[in-house]
Amino acid sequence: MCLAIPGKILAIADDDPLNRIGKVSFGGIAKEVNLSLVPEANVGDYVVVHVGFALSKLDEAEARQVFAYLEQMEELTEQSHGN
């Protein structure tokens, strides 16, 4: 299963439209992400990232909801391994 994860744009290093690269935080872990598919995204925005590419922009409330779902999934996984 493949999963796209929301992250917050911390910085944009290269603003070339074809090679737009930014630093994106995923719960405190920062990774370089290609932002060329979301030219409207800016520092402080949340984006959905899959295999190193930001696919779309989303608002903070949506991002927080996804984080909550991921935490619930992790808790369920931990519970199922504990039995």
* Per-domain residue ranges of the chain: 5-82
In the predicted structure, residue 30 carries a pLDDT above the cut 80: yes
For the structural domain made of 5-82, what CATH number should be given? 2.30.30.140
Average pLDDT over residues 55-62: 91
Strand 5-14 and strand 53-58: the pairing is unpaired
pTM over 0.85: no
Q: What span, in angstroms and rounded, lies between the C-alpha atoms of 81 and 57? A: 34
C-alpha to C-alpha distance for 18 and 35, rounded to whole angstroms: 9
Q: How far apart are CA 45 and CA 20, in angstroms?
A: 15
Please provide the average confidence, as pLDDT, over all residues in the chain: 87
Task: Supply the pLDDT for residue 69.
Answer: 83
